[in-house]
């Protein structure tokens, strides 16, 4: 699933091409991608609106439109937003096509049909579901420590909880825990002050690196121009089954934590 670095990369690379452009048409190749309002109402309301801004909220993309409406885009597990031009062929697995006034088209490609398009008046509903952003000014080490206090859940599971911390997913949680030298099965309340400090900075480190490398193209993630990110080439443990730890040479192990496949080094993360 695209996580914070992947969604941030899409936002950064798509923005120069679409901000200020007017939506001239919407073609739904699979109406199930629209989660509100009805597909007919969605298309009717969105056509003619100008894209004023594109922002990220957790793993969501939010396009602010000229009437004040917000277009929520959630790539979910296998979604990508690809840029093309009028006359270009439609990529396989495209579920929606948004046409712009300069001849550009945005293809929402989603092989597994989990992606979402939703038109809303405000984003309060999403904001209530999300914890703090890892890079926001108010997310300090002290805030992180307080949020971990008395939490009995395994630290890996807690990092994946979007109500606890917005944007972190499976890959970067594994990488952050490896960087901090923490076993993913440890309960959150068992972490020492020094471990919490290491994890706090490790989360920011791996996310920043993920953005610098354009996200991780493990399977289905693509940049708007169709190219792939390279963050996965720098992973230490994520998706590293049958590989050896780059630090100590111990074979990477795959375990399951609260139903999620988890990669760790049993030596570096004792």
Q: How much is the CA Rg of the chain, to the nearest whole Å? A: 20
**For residue 105, what are the CA distances in angstroms to 84, 95, 175?**
5, 13, 35
Sign of CA dihedral 75, 78, 83, 88: negative
Judge residue 166's burial from the number of C-beta atoms within 10 Å of its C-beta, 0-12 exposed, 13-18 middle, 19 or more buried. buried
Active site residues: 2-3, 59, 260
CA 62 distance to own-chain centroid:
13
Q: Where are the beta strands (DSSP E) in the chain?
A: 23-28, 51-57, 60-65, 70-74, 80-85, 94-100, 104-109, 116-120, 253-257, 260-264
CA 268 distance to own-chain centroid:
27
User: Under DSSP, is residue 244 helix (H, G, I), strand (E, B) or coil?
Assistant: strand
Q: How many alpha carbons lie under 13 Å from residue 136 in its C-beta half-sphere?
A: 15
Whether residue 18 contacts residue 49, with contact meaning beta carbons closer than 8 Å, is answered with no
Whether residue 62 contacts residue 70, with contact meaning beta carbons closer than 8 Å, is answered with yes
Give the phi and the psi of residue 205 in degrees, each rounded to 5.
Answer: -65, -50
């Amino acid at each position: 699933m695209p996580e914070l670095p992947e969604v941030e990369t899409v936002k950064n690379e798509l923005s120069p091409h679409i901000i200020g452009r007017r939506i001239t048409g919407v073609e739904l190749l699979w109406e199930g991608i629209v989660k509100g309002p009805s597909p007919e109402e969605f298309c009717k309301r969105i056509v003619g609106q100008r894209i004023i801004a594109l922002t990220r909220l957790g793993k969501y993309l939010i396009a602010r439109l000229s009437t004040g409406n917000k277009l929520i885009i959630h790539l979910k597990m296998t979604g990508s937003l690809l840029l093309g031009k009028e006359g270009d062929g439609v990529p396989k697995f495209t579920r929606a096509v948004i046409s712009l006034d300069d001849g550009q088209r945005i293809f929402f490609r989603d092989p597994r049909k989990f992606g979402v398009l939703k038109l809303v008046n405000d984003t309060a509903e999403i904001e209530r579901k999300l914890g703090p952003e890892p890079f926001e000014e108010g997310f300090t080490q002290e805030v992180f420590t307080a949020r971990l206090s008395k939490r009995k859940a395994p630290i890996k599971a807690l990092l994946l909880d979007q109500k606890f911390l917005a944007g972190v997913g499976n890959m970067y949680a594994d990488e952050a825990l490896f960087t901090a030298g923490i076993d993913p099965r440890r309960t959150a309340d068992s972490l020492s002050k020094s471990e919490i400090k290491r994890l706090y900075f490790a989360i920011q480190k791996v996310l920043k690196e993920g953005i610098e490398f354009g996200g991780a193209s493990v399977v289905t993630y693509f940049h708007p121009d169709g190219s792939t990110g390279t963050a996965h080439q720098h992973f230490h443990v994520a998706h590293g089954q049958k590989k050896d730890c780059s630090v100590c040479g111990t074979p990477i192990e795959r375990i399951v934590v609260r139903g999620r496949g988890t990669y760790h080094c049993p030596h570096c993360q004792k």
